[in-house]
Amino acid sequence: MPEVVYLRLDTESELPQLSLGSFGALVMIESEVSALWQNTVSDWLVRSGCLQMMAWGIGCSSWDDSVDWANIEHFADGDIPEESFVLTSWHENQSLREVMHFCKHFADHPFAELRSTLLLHIAHEPREEEICSLYREA
């Protein structure tokens, strides 16, 4: 079972150094963010080792696109090796519980082992206990 890490960010947050190896991320967007900040976070995810990103919440389809573009730019618009290709999806018509269930039981990468799961909560206030509990029950 991969390690699960909760992290809350808002537009005032400094992006921390992550030491998760190759990981999957469930990005839960509960507050509005600028396109510039979203692109910065997307680039940070890719450079930190994210190989699968599932987005849920406010504007989640745009996170799918921004992580895709960050992955492309990371390889200077060249060919992306299969083991470095970031799989992305958005889940605007599903409950958070459904997305967590998918993340926990079915999320995988065909060419790399996902060693960790990052529960990235983009919100003004943390809800670590509630979100981690929901994930454990998924």
- The CATH number of residue 28's host domain is 3.90.190
Ranges under pLDDT 50 in the chain: none
pLDDT at 2: 74
pLDDT at 1: 64
Using DSSP's 3-state secondary structure scheme, residue 58 falls into coil
Residue 44 to residue 55: CA distance in whole angstroms: 15
pLDDT at 59: 96
Residue 8 to residue 27: CA distance in whole angstroms: 10
Number of domains within the chain: 1
Which structural domain range is residue 100 located in?
3-137
pLDDT at 78: 86
pTM over 0.75: yes
Q: Are 38 and 62 in contact (CB under 8 A)?
A: yes
